[in-house]
Amino acid sequence: MVDLVLKNGVVVTPAGVVLGGVAADGGRIVAVGADSALPSARETVDVEGRAILPGMIDPHTHMGFTAGVRGIGEERFRSDCATESATAALGGVTTMISTAFFGSTRESLVPCLRKAQAHVNENSVVDFKLSTYPWNENHLKDMPTLAKEGVTSFKFTIAYEGEEAKEVGVIPTDLSLLYRWLKESVRLGDPLLTMIHAEDPKLINVRREELREAGRDDLAAWAESRLGISEATDVAKIGFIAMHLGARLYCVHTSAKETVDLIAYFKSKGVRIYGETCPQYLMLSTDHQAGVLAKINPPIRDTSDHDRLWRGLREGTMDNVGSDHSSITLASKEAQRGIWDSKPGFPGTGTLFPLLLSEGVNKGRITLEQLVRINSENTARIFGIYPQKGAILPGSDADLIVVDLRREWTIGARDYPSASDFTVYEGMAVKGRVERTYVRGTQVVHDGQLVAQPGVGRYVPVSRLHGRTAEPGPSQPR
């Protein structure tokens, strides 16, 4: 007898659908198939024809960090592990990948990451994989130790310099450091992954001053100050370095059609480059009613960029979708200061899956099988945690969500326990809602309500080095 059986459902995988259910024991999947083939269980749940999907993986979140907001750090990281993981679980996310950094940039990254792992294990209701920011040469020395402890993804921010870097709270990335980091990642082996926030700061600075002098102070001006070509030029530069070295390169929050075309070019040359986008770049435009609240870096753009990104997801040029979630509050956003002086960023992990389902699947832009591949399997493969995560297969973690594909509802910030108190999707009608969320077989969400206590979630290390990572497949169902 096993721990759990979900029966009478439609099991959705990238390969297609199975009418029946899933059995789990000891936190792992032990059987997938027709109801008649499933073992008896201590708990059997009839899902009454609803969809059973692998839990979503959000590859891009920020616990304990909000751009430009002072006075947050380890304590905010700890509390975010509780509030933001609960928000994620309600939206069908069972694994979050978050950057972790607090303390002095002069100190080793190793103690910080060890503390972050402990905070995850004590406070989260979903599982976490951790990334971090290497700021200087000393952090290059931390790389082998971090990799051995399962921290294998590292984010570099190239988009800021001068006063803007100080305002956002980052140290500009030196290209020579990034080159040496990419080279060391190749030496250490897969699945070492270099993540880049690519925007050319010099081009941005020129455009920003031109627009400010012209008296512009609107969301469209923010987009015009950070043109798509500013993103693409940095991806081109670093993409060629990755090509030369044979390194793995991950482009976070891709927003521009020019960048999608570049990623397609590099993939055609055999470069192991991956494109992540976010819901805001798939559906929000600069005339959005949220106005300054929708300020983010890179900026939201227009329908031609939306269309190219959706096509990239269908074709496999773009690999996955993350939220770029931060728990920024209305007060911290300082929207009253206008577009140039307010803080960038907004929450999104709780709405990631509902938006992709409603705007992607329900509007015929992608299939449900493609969504599962994009936001479960592909992300797990890229970050080296497949098939433990991102799959409904015997031996995989029993990270499962039960979804009513027909249920209509309206997004509201009040529905989430996030430390953030707003959403740019407030009042948006969507179709398809998560009813149950299981993390390694433990129920975290029941009928759209959180039922788990902090501490269910676990840090997920990556243990395999020097073996070549299995690449994401095409986005079409097999």
Q: Is 357 helix (H, G, I), strand (E, B) or coil?
A: helix
Q: Is the pLDDT of residue 192 over 90?
A: yes
pLDDT at 476: 47
Contact 78, 342 (CB under 8 A): no
Q: Is 106 helix (H, G, I), strand (E, B) or coil?
A: coil
Instruction: Tell whether 128 and 41 lie within a shared domain.
Output: no
Q: Encoding tokens for residue 34? A: 């027709």
Domain count, the chain: 2
Q: What's 365's domain CATH number? A: 3.20.20.140
Q: Is the pLDDT of residue 325 over 60?
A: yes
pLDDT at 102: 79
Does any domain span residue 288?
yes
pLDDT, mean of residues 51-73: 82
Does any domain span residue 145?
yes
**Pairwise pLDDT comparison (275 vs 478), residue with the higher score:** 275
Place 164 in a pLDDT band, splitting at 50, 70 and 90. Answer: low
Q: Is the pLDDT of residue 469 over 80?
A: no
pLDDT at 463: 67
Lowest mean pLDDT among 56-65, 91-100, 170-179, 371-380: 170-179
The helix or strand, by DSSP H or E, that contains position 19, with its residue range, turns out to be strand 16-25
Instruction: Tell whether 216 and 86 lie within a shared domain.
Output: yes
Does any domain span residue 179?
yes
Distances, alpha carbon 425 to alpha carbons 42, 72, 331, 440, in Å? 40, 25, 18, 30
Mean pLDDT, all residues of the chain: 93
Given 382, 403, 438, which residue is the final one in a domain?
A: 382
Give per-residue pLDDT as tens, 448-468.
Answer: 999 999 999 999 998 665 445
Peptide bond between residue 111 and the one before it cis (omega within 30 degrees of 0): no
Q: Encoding tokens for residue 272? A: 């192991």
Q: Is the pLDDT of residue 320 over 80?
A: yes
Give the domain range for residue 20.
Answer: 2-53+395-450
pLDDT at 167: 67
Does any domain span residue 474?
no
- CB burial string 49-66: b at 16+ within 10 A, e below: ebbbbbbbbbbbbbbbbb
Report the 10 Å Cβ neighbour count for 425.
Answer: 25
Q: Is the pLDDT of residue 301 over 80?
A: yes
Q: Is the pLDDT of residue 443 over 90?
A: yes
pLDDT at 66: 61
Given 382, 407, 427, which residue is the final one in a domain?
A: 382
pLDDT, mean of residues 240-259: 98
Instruction: Tell whether 32 and 114 lie within a shared domain.
Output: no
First to last CA, the chain: 33
**Pairwise pLDDT comparison (158 vs 313), residue with the higher score:** 313
Instruction: Tell whether 375 and 399 lie within a shared domain.
Output: no
Among 30-44, 99-113, 197-211, 329-343, name the most confident range.
30-44
pLDDT at 478: 33
Task: Annotate 299-333 with three-state secondary structure.
Answer: CCECHHHHHHHHHHHHHCCCCEECCCEECCCHHHH
Instruction: Tell whether 64 and 181 lie within a shared domain.
Output: yes
pLDDT, mean of residues 289-300: 95
Q: What's 30's domain CATH number? A: 2.30.40.10
Pairing of strands 400-410, 51-54: antiparallel
Place 25 in a pLDDT band, splitting at 50, 70 and 90. Answer: very high
pLDDT at 185: 95
**How far is it, in rounded angstroms, from Cα 320 to Cα 252?**
10
Place 208 in a pLDDT band, splitting at 50, 70 and 90. Answer: very high
Instruction: Tell whether 26 and 137 lie within a shared domain.
Output: no
Does any domain span residue 389?
no
Place 477 in a pLDDT band, splitting at 50, 70 and 90. Answer: very low
Query: Which is nearest to 100 in space by CA: 69, 123, 70, 134?
Result: 134
| Phi, psi values for residue 75, rounded to 5° | -65, -40
pLDDT, mean of residues 99-124: 91
The helix or strand, by DSSP H or E, that contains position 450, with its residue range, turns out to be strand 449-450
Determine what percent of the chain is predicted with pLDDT higher than 90: 84
Does any domain span residue 274?
yes
Determine what percent of the chain is predicted with pLDDT higher than 70: 92
Interaxial angle between packed helices 257-268 and 303-315, expressed in degrees from 0 to 180 and rounded to the nearest 10: 30
Instruction: Tell whether 22 and 102 lie within a shared domain.
Output: no
Q: Which residues pair with 97 in a beta bridge?
A: 129
SS3 content of the chain, % helix, strand, coil (to 5): 35, 25, 40
How far from chain centre, in Å, is Cα 321?
6
Q: Is the pLDDT of residue 277 over 90?
A: yes
Angle (CA) 200-237-249 rounded to 5° is 100
Does any domain span residue 321?
yes
**How far is it, in rounded angstroms, from Cα 368 to Cα 444?**
23
Q: Is the pLDDT of residue 240 over 90?
A: yes
Q: What is the DSSP letter of 419?
A: S
DSSP 36-76: GGSPPEEEEEE-TT-EEEEPEEEEEEETT--TT--S-SHHH
Q: Is the pLDDT of residue 331 over 80?
A: yes
Instruction: Tell whether 16 and 165 lie within a shared domain.
Output: no
Does any domain span residue 473?
no
**How far is it, in rounded angstroms, from Cα 365 to Cα 363?**
6
Q: Name the pTM for this structure.
A: 0.95
**How far is it, in rounded angstroms, from Cα 257 to Cα 313?**
12
Find the farthest-apart pair of alpha carbons in the chain and give their distance in angstroms, rounded: 71
pLDDT, mean of residues 102-131: 93
The tally of CA atoms less than 13 A away on the side-chain side of residue 158 is 25
pLDDT, mean of residues 114-128: 98
Instruction: Tell whether 319 and 259 lie within a shared domain.
Output: yes
Instruction: Tell whether 30 and 80 lie within a shared domain.
Output: no
Instruction: Tell whether 181 and 220 lie within a shared domain.
Output: yes
Give per-residue pLDDT as tens, 31-54.
Answer: 999 999 999 999 999 999 999 999
Lowest mean pLDDT among 52-56, 59-63, 431-435, 474-478: 474-478
Instruction: Tell whether 34 and 93 lie within a shared domain.
Output: no
Given 358, 382, 406, which residue is the final one in a domain?
A: 382
